[in-house]
Every structure is written in structure tokens, then in C-alpha cells.
Amino acid sequence: MGLSGLTLRGIWFLLCACLVWARPVKRAPLEHLQTTRHGDVAFGLGNRTYLANIRYPKAILGGNDRATANRQGSLVPFTVVFADSEVVTAQYLLDVIQGYSGGDDVFSKDFLEGVYIGNNGTSSSQTLDASALQYLNDLSPQHLILDVSFESSCYPTDIEVTYLGGLDDANNLTAGPYAALVSEDSVTFGTVYRLYRDSYRNFLYGAYDSNDGEGTFSPVEIFEPKFWDPMIPVPSRIYSWGDTRPLAGYRVAIKDLFDMKGLITSGGSQAWAEIIEAANETAPSVQRIVDLGGVLVGKYKLAQFASGANPWDWQDEHYPFNPRADGWLTCSASSSGGGCSVAAYDWLDFAIGSDTGSSMRRPAAVSGTYGNRPSQGLMTLSRVMPLGAATDTAGIFSRNVHDWVRFAKNWYVPEMCQDTSTTGLSPLEAPDSYGFPKRVLYLTDYLPLRNPAAEEVLQDFIQNLTTVFGMTVEDFNLTAVVDNTTDEVPKYNALNNATGVINAMTQYRQVGKPLISAWREQYEGRFPPIDPAQRQRWKVYDESLYTDELYNQSLGVKRAAVDWFESEVLYSTAESCSESIMLWDIGTGGLPSYREESLNSDPNTTTFLAVTPPTAGINGASLCPIYGCVDMTIPIGQVPYLSNVTFVEEMIPVTVSVIAKRGCDFMLWNMWEKLADEGVLKTIKTGRTAF
Ligand SMILES: *[C@@H]1O[C@H](CO)[C@@H](O)[C@H](O)[C@H]1NC(C)=O
Ligand SMILES: *[C@@H]1O[C@H](CO)[C@@H](O)[C@H](O)[C@H]1NC(C)=O
Ligand SMILES: *[C@@H]1O[C@H](CO)[C@@H](O)[C@H](O)[C@H]1NC(C)=O
Ligand SMILES: *[C@@H]1O[C@H](CO)[C@@H](O)[C@H](O)[C@H]1NC(C)=O
Ligand SMILES: *[C@@H]1O[C@H](CO)[C@@H](O)[C@H](O)[C@H]1NC(C)=O
Ligand SMILES: *[C@@H]1O[C@H](CO)[C@@H](O)[C@H](O)[C@H]1NC(C)=O
Ligand SMILES: *[C@@H]1O[C@H](CO)[C@@H](O)[C@H](O)[C@H]1NC(C)=O
Ligand SMILES: *[C@@H]1O[C@H](CO)[C@@H](O)[C@H](O)[C@H]1NC(C)=O
Ligand SMILES: *[C@@H]1O[C@H](CO)[C@@H](O)[C@H](O)[C@H]1NC(C)=O
Ligand SMILES: *[C@@H]1O[C@H](CO)[C@@H](O)[C@H](O)[C@H]1NC(C)=O
Ligand SMILES: *[C@@H]1O[C@H](CO)[C@@H](O)[C@H](O)[C@H]1NC(C)=O
């Protein structure tokens, strides 16, 4: 910075002789729509809607009294540009603005109503050359503010130029579009968010960083009655162009199961939302995303209390829409809004969700996105509403392999792992391994896919996978292998029982019981109004049966199964993190599964979700919740079907599920990167078709 940061130079108005009349430039005016409860402002600009954070602005330039400065003046769309050269040319400004238009979905030229040119170089004196002056004259912004380093030249322009110093404050200011309050002696820059309509109704509501210095989030309280959609605030990507943190500027949706400070964590239940307070801290897993530079844009819908409820059993929330195919397919459960929103919106990069029994993997399968259930214990679930503490995990939805891996490698780090007292398992080691597997185990108890066209897509993928990594393929019947073990190894019935205990107890104790008793007290003995999935379970829950001892025993059963699995089935060798990987399908086998129950009644052309094949001893979704392994959903293609909703042919995504030994998550991610580089895996499109 060229000037001493503490020198507040005040403002100098230089009204130079008007030599050239500026051409009038047509810019859409800012249309004030609404001031929120907290003093933030929604406005229209052109055909877009924006939200400006006025309450806690990004930066204030000039002004002696901060307390009063930021509330005065009129709101003006502003563009902030930085220049580091001594002579600033029209070409420089043009390139910068063109870069903004091309690289950001929030900026528009309507923000050029105010222009601030800051100095981010080392020179204490800068000038605008004649071409730059001409350019600015043609632009004729209502306000032109230059850093004091430009002050030494008197410019013959017909626009009023204001010079502002106080560079200590400007340090917070980054390039990009703003909504600014311009007063006599100060300019207050409020962060702007473009408000996107969540037209697939995947979110509960939008949220944004309140910038209060305490890490609090504010909910978007703006509603357009013409549509019934939440409005999701998305900040300019330009703000993070100079930010070197690994997730800088990535926009992330959060399942409403994770705490975000200042927001209610509803778990998809209005009753629960009614009895609890807003979270007073952000979940560590979510805070890590913020610390890495990620931008949280809102809370998305989930099956209530993270259950596996079918679409037609959702009562409290309106079931989210899947953008794929005929728009009437299931989003699955419980991280439904996460997979479907990543499949729907280019303006969203990732969604974070949880998987206890299938809740990342199946929503990824039906939306044709990348999604993972990590190894048990890879991510802390502190301040996340639990289902079964020893079976819960947290995963990431993405459309792009390299982005997904970048996110994962920065998010899942050793200090975020769970303690063995939570998982009940041997310590987790998760090396960033390039020790790839030697064998593909094709699980014959779950495959082939029911739709032969989809099986063809899978076979092509297997061909490509094994070619790239030099692997062999073997048919493998896991049910037979488990059946065939000695008595010491727990079988599926015992494992189903143990998982049932684990999944029932934690949530009942932390959510069900307090909700039921609070409701009973508040509403004359009534049971809370909740969806059917948990109503019966909680109604008949017997505390005398579900003891700490039983929980402990159940963890012991699970532990014995995992130890066997990791020594006999998927194990590490000197050369491979996981000697083999298993392929199966958590999705629909290439058949449509509709959100409307009766449309799924033809068993030959449609399917329900979570159907256990007659040749399998257990639902495939339960394998990794039991064995602690990593299971990822990988989109590999699409197949046609005749829609009973649009009555034309539509394309449905085909995905494959891939299981590796617990701790080999990064081995899989390194494989996906290699397959993406080889062109085998693709970046997924948003909208009706994934490819
Ligand atoms: C919004 O305005 C832009 C620029 O004026 C225009 O290109 C675009 O087509 C408009 N979009 C809609 C949906 O009207
Ligand atoms: C600039 O950032 C610092 C640190 O984040 C903060 O303390 C200060 O209040 C900010 N200034 C403005 C004007 O927002
Ligand atoms: C100054 O900002 C411009 C435009 O944002 C950028 O291209 C340039 O790298 C920055 N220079 C420095 C020294 O930060
Ligand atoms: C958050 O609230 C809980 C009780 O509801 C309290 O125990 C805890 O100390 C609070 N944390 C902070 C950071 O205020
Ligand atoms: C797998 O093994 C189980 C148990 O032995 C058997 O019932 C089933 O038919 C087998 N499935 C296939 C496809 O071979
Ligand atoms: C069952 O176990 C026996 C003896 O350990 C072994 O020979 C056989 O191959 C096993 N069968 C399967 C399907 O794993
Ligand atoms: C599983 O639980 C059921 C019902 O509680 C019980 O009857 C059965 O014996 C259990 N099975 C095993 C293998 O633990
Ligand atoms: C659970 O088991 C562990 C050891 O496996 C033991 O230390 C602990 O006391 C047990 N707790 C209960 C409630 O049985
Ligand atoms: C869906 O359409 C097919 C014809 O393509 C028809 O045979 C079937 O009965 C329809 N199913 C439902 C549930 O409407
Ligand atoms: C499904 O296919 C089977 C075998 O092709 C056929 O026998 C049956 O009638 C079909 N069911 C329906 C509802 O079309
Ligand atoms: C994948 O395999 C198929 C044939 O099995 C081949 O036609 C195709 O080119 C391969 N794709 C890539 C990207 O290697």
C-alpha cells in the first residue's frame, strides 16, 4: 500500500472543467424491495434480485464516526476495481470489467453506477491516462472514487471525482460488486448477494454470513409470493479471487441437521424447531468449511430426523424436486435436498450431508451426482443432530471429480476424525494412498442392474476401470461368504439387530425424548406432530430395554464384524490400501422411481427404493454402516425410459456404488482423479440430463 494506513485524507471534491459531455449510459436503476428486520436490504437491479449486507458492511472508507457513517446516504450499486500499476489505461479497466462479467454470475454492468479504483500496488502515486479518462467519461458513473494515490493529477473530466484514503479500512475491501451507502464524507460498502430462486424447492431457506465478527449467520427473510420458492443468497465469486485458501469462494449447501450459529437446526421438524433455540455455535465440520474459505448459502431439506422416509411420507416439509428426467423422480432420503440441489443449480458447488443408512449415497444415485459415505469416524459429528452415533457419517455431493477431491482432501483431515469411543472401532488411519486395488469384486448378490441398458453402461465402465488400473474382475457373493463364516463372526441377523439398537438410541435420547416431554408439557399431554417414520418408533420406545449395556454389546457385535471384514474380505497389503474394491448399486438399477407412490406400481418398468434383492442376505446400503467401510456413488452414464409423467422418452442417470476398506477413502479419490484425467469420469451437468 502506498500511503500510511492511518492517514485519513478526508475527501476532496475536484470539479474540473467540463470539456467533454459524457455519453449517457443506460443502466438499470436500483429498485429498493425490502429492508430486513436486521437492516439488510433487498433490491432489484435489471431483472435480478440482490441482497446487500448493510448492517455489518464489508468496509467503510472515510468518515470520522463509524457508528453513524454506515447508516447514512443512499444505496448505490458499486464496482470496486484495484490497480497496481502507476498508469491505469482504458484497456486495463476494460479487461477487468470484462473479466468480472465473464467470471461471475453476481456482477452485472448495472453495478457500474459507482466506481471505486483502489491502489493495490506499491506506488504512492498513480495516474489515469487519457484513454482511461475517456473510458470513465463514457461510463459516466454517478460516483467515481479514486484512491488518494491518484490525487496528484487534476483530471479534466466532467464527472465528480472523490479521493478517499484511509487504506487501513480498505484492506477489508476486495474487488467486485457492492451496494454502497454514499454520504458526505464516507462510503460504506455492503457485500452483495444475488438471490436465486430455489425453483426445485430443495432448500428450507437461504442464509448468509452476517459479518458480525462472531461467525453468526442470518437467514434470508425475503419471500416472493408469486413463487413459493426460498431465495438463496450467493455472493460474488470475485470477492474470493485473491483468496488463496483451498475452498475460497466455493458455495456450499448444508443439511439442516448441522448447526450453523444463529440459525435453528430443525432436523426437518417444525415441532423440534419450536422447542429449541438457534444454535449458538457452528458445528466444527461446518466451521472448517468456512475456515477454508467456503461460502455457506443455506439449509437444505432432509427426511425428517434423517430418516429414510419415502417422498409420500413427508408431511412437515414439501418433498424436494429432482431436476433430472421428467422432474418427477425421487430425490431419495435423507439428504434429499443436497443431491438434488447439486444436480439442479450451476450457482451451487457442493452440498454437505450425513449418511447413517444410505442418506448420501442414494440421493447421489438418483440425482446423478458424486456422493460419498466416508469411512466410519472420518469426520466429527459434534453439533450435528445424531441418528446412530456409531453409524453416522458426513459426506459431500459434487458434480466435478477434481473439485470433489480437493474439497475432501482439505476437509477430512486427521484432527477432524472421531474418537474410537464414538465409533467403537480400532483406530482409523486414512492415508492419501496411491496403492490401488488389484481386484474388482462384482457383487452377484446385488448385480446385475435390472435395466439391461444400464448394465451395459456398467460393463463399459468396469472395462475402462480395469484397463486403467490393470485390475481383474471376479464375481463375488458376499452373502454366501458371510453365511459361511465360523460362529464367532456375527451374521446379518445379529448385525441388523446391533445396527437397529445403535440407530435407535442416540437420537431418541438426544431428540425424541426431550421433544416428546416438552410437547406433552406444553400441549396438555399431546404427542408432537411428526412424520410417520419416527412416530411409531418413538411411541413404542422402551427405555428399560435400550440400556447402556445393550448399546455397548451392540458396538461389540459391530466391532467383531469389522475386524473380520478388514482381515478376511477387504484388507490392506503392502501394495494396496484396499486389496480389492466391491461394486454394487445403491440406486434404481436404471429404472425410474417416482415421487408419487402409485407411479411405481409396475414392477417391470419402475422400482421402489431400498429393495433388497431376493439373493442378498441384507440390503446393500447397510454393508458399510455395519463394516465401517467407505462407499461412494459414481455417476457413469444414462439410459432412456418412457416417462409416465411427461409421456416422452427421458434420460435417467446410471451410477455405480464402490466400496473399499475403511480408511481407503483417499485411495478411491485418487482413482477417480485418474479416471477423470483419462476421460472415463465426466463433469456432471445440471438440469434434465446429467451427461
Ligand atoms: C435479464 O437481463 C439480461 C441483460 O439485460 C438479459 O440478457 C437476459 O436475457 C434477461 N433475462 C431474463 C430472464 O429476462
Ligand atoms: C475489517 O476487518 C477487521 C478484521 O476482520 C475488522 O475488525 C474491522 O472491523 C473491519 N473493518 C470494517 C470497516 O468492516
Ligand atoms: C491488484 O488487483 C488486480 C485486479 O484485481 C490484480 O490483477 C493484481 O494481481 C493485484 N495486484 C496485487 C499486487 O495484488
Ligand atoms: C451454547 O448454549 C449452551 C446451552 O444451551 C451452553 O451450554 C453453551 O455454553 C453455549 N455456548 C456458547 C459458546 O455460548
Ligand atoms: C448368494 O449366496 C446366497 C447364500 O448362499 C444364496 O442364497 C444366493 O442365491 C447367492 N446369490 C447368487 C446370485 O448366487
Ligand atoms: C466356505 O468355507 C469353506 C471352508 O472354509 C471354503 O472351502 C469355501 O470355499 C467357503 N465358501 C464360500 C462361498 O466362501
Ligand atoms: C434379533 O432381534 C430379534 C428381536 O429382538 C431376536 O428375536 C433375535 O434373536 C435377534 N437375533 C440375533 C441373531 O441376535
Ligand atoms: C462398555 O464397554 C466398555 C469396554 O468394552 C466398558 O469399559 C464400559 O464400562 C461399558 N459400559 C457399559 C455401560 O456397560
Ligand atoms: C406407465 O406407462 C406404461 C406404458 O408405458 C403403462 O403400461 C403403465 O401401466 C403405466 N404405469 C402407471 C403406474 O401408470
Ligand atoms: C412383467 O414381466 C413379466 C415377464 O416378462 C411378465 O410376465 C409380467 O406380466 C410383467 N408384469 C407387468 C405388470 O407388466
Ligand atoms: C470405455 O470403454 C468403452 C468400451 O468398453 C470404449 O468404447 C470407450 O472409449 C472407453 N471410454 C474411455 C473414456 O476410455
User: What is the Å distance from ligand 1's center to 47 Cα?
Assistant: 6
pLDDT of 166 over the 60 cut: no
Mean of pLDDT values over 156-161: 70
User: What is the Å distance from ligand 4's center to 393 Cα?
Assistant: 24
User: What is the Å distance from ligand 2's center to 62 Cα?
Assistant: 14
Mean of pLDDT values over 292-309: 97
pLDDT in tens, 23-63: 567 899 999 999 998 889 999 999 999 999 999 999 988 76
pLDDT of 186 over the 90 cut: no
Q: Tell me, using a 6 A CB cutoff, whether residue 209 lines ligand 2.
A: no
Q: Which ligand is the nearest neighbour of the Cα of 69?
A: 2
User: What is the Å distance from ligand 10's center to 591 Cα?
Assistant: 15
Q: Which atom of ligand 7 is nearest to the CA of 490?
A: 13
Mean of pLDDT values over 196-201: 98
| Cell matching residue 396 | 459431500
User: What is the Å distance from ligand 4's center to 598 Cα?
Assistant: 47
Q: Tell me, using a 6 A CB cutoff, whether residue 112 lines ligand 2.
A: no
Mean of pLDDT values over 664-689: 98
pLDDT of 318 over the 50 cut: yes
Lowest mean pLDDT, pick from 40-44, 64-68, 320-324, 495-499: 64-68
pLDDT of 653 over the 90 cut: yes
Q: Which residues contact 638 (CB under 8 A, 6 or more apart)?
A: 368, 457, 651, 652, 653, 654, 689, 690, 691
Mean of pLDDT values over 225-234: 92
Q: Tell me, using a 6 A CB cutoff, whether residue 421 lines ligand 8.
A: no
Q: Tell me, using a 6 A CB cutoff, whether residue 315 lines ligand 11.
A: no
User: What is the Å distance from ligand 2's center to 123 Cα?
Assistant: 24
Instruction: Name the residue with the closest Cα to ligand 10, atom 10.
Output: 604
Q: Which atom of ligand 11 is nearest to the CA of 460?
A: 5
Return d(Cα 261, Cα 279) in angstroms, integer.
5
Cis peptide upstream of residue 448 (ω within 30 degrees of 0): yes
Instruction: Name the residue with the closest Cα to ligand 4, atom 9.
Output: 280
Kindly report whether the global pTM for this prediction surpasses the value 0.85: yes
The pLDDT of residue 64 is 58
Q: Report the candidate in 665, 659, 681 with the shortest Cα–Cα distance to residue 446.
A: 659
Return d(Cα 21, Cα 140) in angstroms, integer.
9
pLDDT of 170 over the 70 cut: no
- Pocket lining for ligand 6, CB < 6 angstroms: 480-481, 484
Return d(Cα 78, Cα 182) in angstroms, integer.
10
pLDDT of 649 over the 50 cut: yes
**Confidence category of residue 90, pLDDT binned at 50, 70, 90:** very high
**Confidence category of residue 224, pLDDT binned at 50, 70, 90:** confident
pLDDT of 517 over the 60 cut: yes
Q: Which ligand is the nearest neighbour of the Cα of 480?
A: 5
Q: Are 87 and 47 in contact (CB under 8 A)?
A: no
Q: Tell me, using a 6 A CB cutoff, whether residue 473 lines ligand 7.
A: no
The pLDDT of residue 490 is 97
Mutation pick for ligand 6 pocket among 484, 486, 568 (CB with most ligand atoms within 8 Å): 484
Return d(Cα 622, Cα 641) in angstroms, integer.
29
- Pocket lining for ligand 1, CB < 6 angstroms: 46-47
Check residue 177 and report its DSSP letter: E
The pLDDT of residue 38 is 83
If one counts every other C-beta atom within 10 angstroms of the C-beta of residue 614, the result is: 6
User: What is the Å distance from ligand 8's center to 285 Cα?
Assistant: 28
Chain length of the chain: 691
User: What is the Å distance from ligand 8's center to 425 Cα?
Assistant: 14
Mutation pick for ligand 4 pocket among 214, 275, 280 (CB with most ligand atoms within 8 Å): 280
Q: Are 546 and 378 in contact (CB under 8 A)?
A: no
Return d(Cα 296, Cα 252) in angstroms, integer.
5
Instruction: Name the residue with the closest Cα to ligand 5, atom 5.
Output: 480
**Confidence category of residue 158, pLDDT binned at 50, 70, 90:** low
Q: Tell me, using a 6 A CB cutoff, whether residue 65 lines ligand 10.
A: no
**Confidence category of residue 327, pLDDT binned at 50, 70, 90:** very high
Q: Which atom of ligand 1 is nearest to the CA of 47?
A: 1
**Confidence category of residue 307, pLDDT binned at 50, 70, 90:** very high
Q: Tell me, using a 6 A CB cutoff, whether residue 602 lines ligand 9.
A: yes
> Whole-number mean pLDDT of the chain?
93
| Cell matching residue 227 | 413463487
Q: Which ligand is the nearest neighbour of the Cα of 259?
A: 4
Homologous superfamily of the 198-455+570-677 domain (CATH): Amidase signature (AS) domain (3.90.1300.10)
Mean of pLDDT values over 103-129: 94
Q: Tell me, using a 6 A CB cutoff, whether residue 644 lines ligand 9.
A: yes
Phi-psi sector, 524: left (phi>0), alpha (psi -120 to 50), beta: left
Q: Tell me, using a 6 A CB cutoff, whether residue 597 lines ligand 9.
A: no
pLDDT of 175 over the 50 cut: yes
Mean of pLDDT values over 64-78: 69
The pLDDT of residue 135 is 94
Instruction: Name the residue with the closest Cα to ligand 4, atom 4.
Output: 280
- Structural domain spans, the chain: 15-194, 198-455+570-677
Q: Tell me, using a 6 A CB cutoff, whether residue 460 lines ligand 11.
A: yes
Q: Which atom of ligand 9 is nearest to the CA of 599?
A: 13
* Local structure of 397: helix, strand or coil: strand
CA-CA distances (angstroms) from residue 264 to 205, 272, 285, 521? Answer: 11, 9, 17, 21
User: What is the Å distance from ligand 5's center to 475 Cα?
Assistant: 12
Q: Which ligand is the nearest neighbour of the Cα of 643?
A: 9
pLDDT in tens, 601-648: 999 999 999 999 999 999 999 999 999 999 999 999 999 999 999 999
Q: Tell me, using a 6 A CB cutoff, whether residue 679 lines ligand 11.
A: yes
Check residue 487 and report its DSSP letter: T
User: What is the Å distance from ligand 8's center to 552 Cα?
Assistant: 6
Instruction: Name the residue with the closest Cα to ligand 10, atom 6.
Output: 604
Q: Which atom of ligand 2 is nearest to the CA of 58?
A: 14
Return d(Cα 685, Cα 554) in angstroms, integer.
42
Give burial (CB, 10 Å; 0-12/13-18/19+) of 544. exposed
pLDDT of 106 over the 50 cut: yes
The pLDDT of residue 7 is 30
Q: Which atom of ligand 1 is nearest to the CA of 48?
A: 1
What percent of the chain stands above pLDDT 70? 93
Mutation pick for ligand 5 pocket among 450, 475, 479 (CB with most ligand atoms within 8 Å): 479
pLDDT in tens, 446-478: 999 999 999 999 999 999 999 999 999 999 999
The pLDDT of residue 161 is 83
pLDDT in tens, 355-406: 999 999 999 999 999 999 999 999 999 999 999 999 999 999 999 999 999 9
Instruction: Name the residue with the closest Cα to ligand 9, atom 3.
Output: 644
Q: Which atom of ligand 4 is nearest to the CA of 280?
A: 1
The pLDDT of residue 225 is 84
**Confidence category of residue 17, pLDDT binned at 50, 70, 90:** very low
Helix runs in 166-250, H state only: 167-170
**Confidence category of residue 426, pLDDT binned at 50, 70, 90:** very high
Return d(Cα 579, Cα 440) in angstroms, integer.
9
Return d(Cα 51, Cα 34) in angstroms, integer.
9
pLDDT in tens, 560-615: 999 999 999 999 999 999 999 999 999 999 999 999 999 999 999 999 999 999 99
